[in-house]
Each structure stands twice: as structure tokens, then as C-alpha cells.
Amino acid sequence: MTQTWGVIAALALATIAIKAAGPVMVGGRPLPERALAVIALLAPALLAALVAVESLTGKDGALMIDARTAGVVAAGAALALRASLMVAVVVAAAVTALLRALG
Amino acid sequence: MRGGLRAAAPLAPAVFLVGVSFGIAALPVMGAVAPVVMSAIVHAGSAQFAALAVLADGGGAGAAIVAGILLNLRFLPMAVAYAPWIPGGALRRAAEGQATTDASWAIASRGGGRFDRDTLLGATLAQYPAWLLGTLAGVLIGEGLGDPRDVGLDAIFPAFFLALLVEEARGRRGAAVAVAGAVVALALSPLVPPGIPVLAASVIALVGLRGERP
């Protein structure tokens, strides 16, 4: 139990430090044009990585295609048909749940 | 802040249910109080699950801490990107940086490296109570709530990020960076500890050093 509390305290402090580092060092002044160009591309790079890892890999990190993958693909199709974000999310959950229910 | 609250509202039920599943999974390993405290002060789902998995497998405290930190390192580049939009002194900026979560950061992104501070704070405000109350419900009610996977919960977050990605990846350069980021993350995923693939994908953004802004 002591071990658990140690992990929680250390992880809380580390997370606070990680999230504070950038704002303390960078904040308050305008960034150079080149830095802004890099930051502008962080969103597509990180979001695409999150989507890929969360929809295409399993627990061990290996490629895994399952009901969840199908749900995300269905959401992508809905978005291509100009569905709203809310509709896309509901489509993803519904398709995934349906496929799992069908086994 | 309303804009952020509204934008994150579709996620709140999902965040709650993931919180429930964390509470259920953590109860036998950590007891009833520790998981709730962890959700309150760490507030980072993937890192909490990773640390829990190490502890549940009988791994040491050090390994659990490292696993959690690796997953949270992606907040370093995210908070750097958001930093220029936070006003005030160092202490206040450090405090506001704590509101950085995957979903809030993505919702608040306005493209071209711009961020809306109010939206980010509102989006985090929508998620925080859901995560905390979900964890509480998980440790209190436990298995009675059933398996959140049955309702397709694990597809909600990638679908949400995909919808935001569609906005961010407009233009040839954004689309190319998105494809490269996904490929890097998938290629590294089986080889390195969880968390590193997504962090490594942020390196792709360095192509922004070359030539005109997208």
C-alpha cells in the first residue's frame, strides 16, 4: 500500500512538472516564425499518432484490427459525408458495440 | 469557456465510463481510496492505466512510475505549443498548463499554431469531474456496471481525435505530416514502451523548420 501511494505521489509530481515546463519556459513572449511553423504541425502529427495507436494496436503494441477499428473507420466514413463530430463519435461507438454484440 | 465546455460535452460520458473502468480495475490492486486520489491529482487516464497495469503484474514502484511518465511525456510538446497563449507570470502559466489534456488541447487548436485559452480551460472543466466521479463510481459499484467495452467505449476517443484531425490536416503539408505521424507511431508501437510512439510522432512536426508556414 505504501508503494501505491509512492507511485501516485511521484506520478502526480512528474505530470505537473511535464505540463508546467513549456508554459514556464516559453510563455509570455511571441515565438519566432520558424517555431510557430513547427508548432502548427504538432497537432496533425500528434492527433494522427493517437488515432493510429488507439484504433490499430493491441495491448502489446502490435497491429490489431478489431471491432473498435471498424468503428473508427465508420466514423471516418461519416466525417467524409460531412457528419458532425458528435455524429461521428456516436457512429464509432454504435458500430463497435454492434459488432461485439454479434460476436 | 462555454465553447470548450460544449465542444467537450460529447466526451464527458465517455470520460466517465473510462473512469469507471479504471476504478473497477484499480480497486483490487490499490484499495478504494488511492484510485480516487490518483484520478484527482494525476488526472491522466492512459498514464494511470499504465501504472496500474505494472502494479497489478507485481512490478515495482519504479517501473510503474516510469510507465506513467513515458505516457505523459507527450504533454511536453503539447504544453510548449499552447504556452504562448497563456498570460501572466511563471507561476500562473505553470498552473494553467496543468489544464492540458489530449482532448482539450486538440479542441482548443485553431490551426496554424494558434490556441484558444478559454476553450482549452472549458474543455478540461468538462472532463475533470467526469473522470473523478467515474473513478469513484467504479470503486463503489465495481463490476455491477458491466464491461464498458460492450458499448464501444474504446472507439470513442480515436473517433473523436479523428474528427479533430480532419480539421487540422487540411492542406498538403498538414495531410503529409499526419500520414507520417501515424506511420511513425505504428512502426514504433511494437518495439518501444507505450507512450513513446506518440511522443516520437511529434518529431515529424520539425519539417516545419523547412520553408514557408503551412
Tens of pLDDT along chain B (214 residues)?
778 888 888 888 888 888 888 898 899 889 999 999 999 999 988 889 889 888 887 888 998 898 889 888 889 989 999 999 999 899 999 999 999 998 899 999 998 888 999 999 999 999 999 999 999 998 998 766 667 677 788 888 899 889 889 988 888 889 999 999 999 999 999 999 888 898 899 899 898 888 654 4
Using an 8 Å CB-CB cutoff, list chain A residues near B157.
50, 54
CA–CA separation, B195 vs B210, rounded Å? 27
The pLDDT tens digits for A64-93 are 999 999 999 999 999 999 998 888 988 999
Sign of the torsion angle spanned by Cα atoms B114, B116, B70, A75: negative
CA–CA separation, B119 vs B131, rounded Å? 19
ipTM summary value: 0.89
Length of chain B: 214
DSSP A28: T
Q: Say if the Cβ atoms of A4 and B55 lie within 8 Å.
A: yes
Task: Establish if B63 touches chain A: CB-CB under 8 angstroms.
Answer: no
Task: Establish if B116 touches chain A: CB-CB under 8 angstroms.
Answer: no
Nearest residue in B to A72, CA atom: B159
Q: Say if the Cβ atoms of B177 and A44 lie within 8 Å.
A: yes
Cα–Cα separations (whole angstroms), residue B103 to A37, A60, A62, B52: 22, 24, 24, 22
B189's CB contacts (< 8 A; 6+ apart) are A53, A57, A61, A62, A63, B197
Q: Evaluate whether B200 touches B185 at the Cβ level (below 8 Å).
A: yes
Q: Say if the Cβ atoms of B51 and A7 lie within 8 Å.
A: yes
pTM confidence score: 0.81
Question: Cell 511522443 appears where?
Answer: B199
Q: Evaluate whether B190 touches A62 at the Cβ level (below 8 Å).
A: yes
Nearest residue in A to B199, CA atom: A46
Length of chain A: 103
**CA angle A56–B173–B186, rounded 5-degree value:** 20
